[in-house]
Amino acid sequence: MWTLYVGIFIALVWILDYFLLDRRQFKLVRRLNHPLRLPLIGQAWLALGIKPSQTREFIDKLNKGYNQLFPNVLCIYIGNKLEVGLSNYKYVERILTSTKFIAKSSLYDFLGDVLGEGLLFSTNQKWFERRRIITPTFHFKILGQFFEVFQKHSENLCRELENLADGRTFDVTPHINMTVLKSLCETAMGCEINEKDYSYLNAVKELSYHVATNFLTPWHRIKLLYNLTPTKRAQDKCAKIIHDFTTKLIEERRKMLIKSTENQDLSDLDNDEIGLKRKMCLLDVLLQSTSNGKPLSNDDIREEVNTFTFAGHDTTTIATCFTLYMISKHVDVQQKLNKEIEEVLGKDEVTFKSLSEFKYLDMVIKETLRLYPPVPIISRRLYDEDDFGDFVAPGNANYNLFLYSLLRNPANFEKPDEFNPDRFLENITPFGFIPFSAGQRNCIGQKFAMINIKTTIINILRNFEIFPGFIESKIEFHITLKSNGSFIALQKKIK
């Protein structure tokens, strides 16, 4: 009797799976690399017990085990939802330059629920309109003003680090993180963050943790189940703190601009005027902008400011911390950087103009970003099939671009796991080095981030000698690249 029940159950599972599965899609997948798929659950069984610290090894193992047909292409079903993984620069270029892949992956939906449909998550006409509005914020003149903020906070950071400059190992991450957050809040919202506002900063950091938990937990993608979890309640609490803080600031800034005699639309200013009439921040740009002839609502503005702060603080922190970490481990690199600082600045203070003269520092940061991309995986959504030449890409699927694997691909870089800034003296394979993504949806704030990172690194190197700590950094794949810390030691320089 039990045999009959089991047989009926198995038959029902197969029948249900048959009707839930996109048959055309599955036909195309069968021509590509894919592990054994089970009815209803797909290949989700492969990830059982995988921890964040094991994600990189897990992806590498899958790629090596199923790359016989199309190298660096892998198809995985989570239930009946198809995820395609890619780390071949030709296919990555196809995706990032095609208008068919303009939509973000459905994996980001839970982030949109918290932050709204800002530039990072919006698509189609809304994305084009927001990109047009926000682009002037990163005008050369305004970036020059942002430098003043970065310089102020990096100098404060150096004073803070003096208390730790005794040769002992410590994790520099929390110090860099708070400095970056303060800088971002001031450049995004035009306000200085003080101790009474730390609840906002802590909420931003805590939200990053909850988002990562969602990203790595497949059943959290079922909203009915996720809404019952403690993670959802904690995430909602963080979101409320962030929204309340930003909304209050928007309302105050709006009233101030209405009273101001300098209230002028940024689009009316020519290149020489932008940033000269008064200091601009992202919030000012949004408050003075229109969409379809109407001012942006408070909700529109809030989602852009929150997205900018959330997306920018973690990635910039990661890039800065890993750059310091790599400098600490390579004495020759640190010596070259010190020499470059002496040649460019001498006894003078660093300026916005002088940043462009730090060519070797540029290469050091780029090499760090190659080895430790702040966003190790980016994802796009393809709704209709697309011919890649070698194969037909299935529609109705998420396409995950493994930047971490791409940037360490031996086909693109000689001795890819070695830290060698000089490799950037030569031409790099197009789309082989894209730590800030590429194409239409490339990171709009990449110049902003580089100015922030360079300013911080220069000021630290002018004040301290950097030594490797006694604890190695171990990386994990979340939405961003996480680690157990960036451990270094400092010694104050005698001037």
Q: Could you tell me which residues are annotated as the binding site for heme? A: 443
Q: Characterize the bridge pairing of strands 392-393 and 397-402.
A: unpaired
Tell which residue, 12, 149, 20, has the closest CA to residue 81: 20
Q: 273: which 2 tokens? A: 């005027």
Q: Which helix (H) or strand (E) holds 311?
A: helix 298-329
Q: Characterize the bridge pairing of strands 386-387 and 73-78.
A: unpaired
Distance of CA 250 to the CA centre of its chain: 25
d(CA 12, CA 7): 9
- How many CB atoms sit inside 10 A of residue 476's CB? 18
d(CA 86, CA 258): 50
Q: Which helix (H) or strand (E) holds 464?
A: strand 464-468
d(CA 386, CA 124): 18
Q: Is 429 exposed, middle or buried (0-12, 13-18, 19+ CB in 10 A)?
A: middle
Exposure string for 22-47, b = 16+ CB within 10 A, e = fewer: beebbebbeebbbbebebebbbbeee
Q: Which helix (H) or strand (E) holds 18?
A: helix 2-20
- Residues comprising the binding site? 443
What are the beta bridge partners of residue 475?
A: 483
